[in-house]
Amino acid sequence: MGSEEGRSLATYLQRLARDPALAKEFRENPERAMANAGLSESERDLILSGSALALREAIFQELGEEKKVQMMAWHWPIVWPIVWP
Amino acid sequence: MALADRLADRLAVINAVTPSGSLTVVGTGIDVGGHLTPQARVAFAEADEALYLVADPIAVALLEELNPQARSLQGLYSHGASRLDAYEGMVDEILAPVRNGKTVCAAFYGHPGIFVYPGHKAVLGARADGFRAWMLPGISSLDCLFADLSIDPAETGCLVQHASDFLARRVHPDPSILLVLLQISVIGEPGAVEAPDWSGLTVLVEYLEEFYASEHVVIAYEASPFPVLEPTATHVPLAELTNADLTAGMTLVVPPATAPPAPDPSIRALLELRRAERLSET
């Protein structure tokens, strides 16, 4: 996937995060919502694949290397310790 | 002295003895766009110091948009080092600006007080030093789980535990109630790691097989962080769990394997007796 597509995906997800009405539109008709957002066929396929990991990987293309390293260290930062005696 | 004057005097005394710094710890939910509450949004946006620990770049973008000075706590993890040390470092990082008189907001993904060591610790630490501190709830992965899997924990009762603690303490599950084990991708791992380690899962499965049949179907579940994705719910026999396609953030759901015990008539009779006694007293 090219960097342009990564930018488009990240932008779309950020718009969804800001506007709950867009998320509602997606829930009700994903194909139409993605077409309205101008996503490419490969971006639509990526979303429809249902892989959060793949989606994260794609949107990292919009981010700088520093932030990518910071975020990729652990996809799901655990916040509870294990302390063995 | 008029009431308004007395209240003003009292407020002045309170302000004089209460340090000016404050802390609000908030949860961003799992899907930050849809789950961030209005109260949490305002607390984060208006903070002098805004700190966050979230799991995806869209959440980062939204939080940094809300408060351009916001900074991540993620750098406190050190590969291979104790996670507990990282969490203590987070508490220090959160409390330092509070002690300098700043209005501080710390945001954690999910609910900031559920499986979040630094969340309560920071709030209690701030209060112990005399500062005002609050925790605002967020939508946790457990909340998503009950919604996505159509399970109401009231039906059978529910035991929720950290997978490592469950195993290490040899907790005896009741097969008639729902069992939910979190963080199955790092069982027994006290350090910060950069990838899941599934080796501990084999030990957990062996232990669970002491209480459940190998063919009992369990669910490996992960909530969706984005509104465009469905949650992941992999149904698999217990014995096959380690061969399933699992992801780092998954939670193990073990549905009840047996019917719950029938209600005890003697308890009902006792409750009715106590109720009758209370009514006769009034």
- Domain presence at residue B34: yes
Distance CA B155, CA B153 (A): 5
Do B71 and B53 meet the contact criterion of CB atoms below 8 Å apart? no
Q: Where are the domains of chain A?
A: 3-72
Predicted model pTM? 0.88
**Inter-axis angle of helices A65-72 and B57-66, to 10 degrees?**
120
Of the candidates B79, B164, B229, the beta carbon closest to that of A55 is on B229
pLDDT averaged over every residue in chain B: 93
A63 contacts B162? CB cut-off 8 A: no
A79–B116 C-beta distance less than 8 A: yes
Domain final residue pick, B110, B139, B168: B139
Q: Are residues B110 and B215 in the same domain?
A: no
Indicate whether B73 belongs to any domain: yes
The residue of chain B nearest to residue A50, with distances taken between CA atoms, is B229
ipTM for the predicted complex: 0.78
Beta bridge partners of B222: B232
CB pairs under 8 A between A and B: 125
Locate tokens 């995060």: which residue? A17
| Touching A: B residues 196-255, CB under 8 Å | 222, 224-230, 232, 247-249
pLDDT at B38 over 60: yes
Model confidence at A17: pLDDT above 90: no
CB contact under 8 A, A18 and B62: yes
Q: Is B51 in the same domain as B125?
A: yes
Q: Is B147 part of the contact surface with chain A (CB cutoff 8 Å)?
A: no
Residue B52 maps to a domain: yes
Q: Pick the more confident residue, A8 or B109.
A: B109
pLDDT mean over A2-16: 70
Cα torsion angle, A31, A40, B36, B148, sign:
positive
Structure-token match 């950069």, residue found: B194
Q: How many structural domains is chain B composed of?
A: 2
Rg for chain A, CA atoms, rounded? 16
Residue after which a domain boundary falls, among B100, B115, B139: B139
Q: What is the number of other CB atoms lying within 10 angstroms of the CB of residue B75?
A: 12
The predicted pLDDT at position A64 comes to 59
Residue type, B47: A
Q: Is residue B42 part of a domain?
A: yes
Task: Out of B83, B99, B132, B207, pick the active-site residue.
Answer: B83
Half-sphere exposure (CA, 13 Å, Cβ side) for B202? 4
Residue B193 has pLDDT above 90, yes or no: no
CATH number of the domain that B66 lies in? 3.40.1010.10
Residue B157 lies in a domain: yes
Chain A: residue whose CA lies nearest to B224 = A52
Whether residue B249 sits in one domain with residue B154: yes
Closest CA in chain B for residue A20:
B34
Would the pLDDT of A65 be above 60?
A: no
Q: Which residue, B139, B160, B193, sits at the end of a domain?
A: B139
Give yes or no: B109 in active site.
Answer: yes
Using CB atoms and an 8 Å cut-off, which of residues 50-79 of chain B contact chain A? 53-62, 72, 74-75, 77, 79
Q: Name every residue whose Cβ is closer than 8 Å to that of residue B266 and which is 6 or more positions away in sequence.
A: none
Which H, E and C letters describe chain A, residue by residue? CCHHHHHHHHHHHHHHHHCHHHHHHHHHCHHHHHHHCCCCHHHHHHHHHCCHHHHHHHHHHHCCHHHHHHHHCCCCCCCCCCCCC
Q: Which residue segment(s) compose the domain that B202 sits in?
A: 142-254
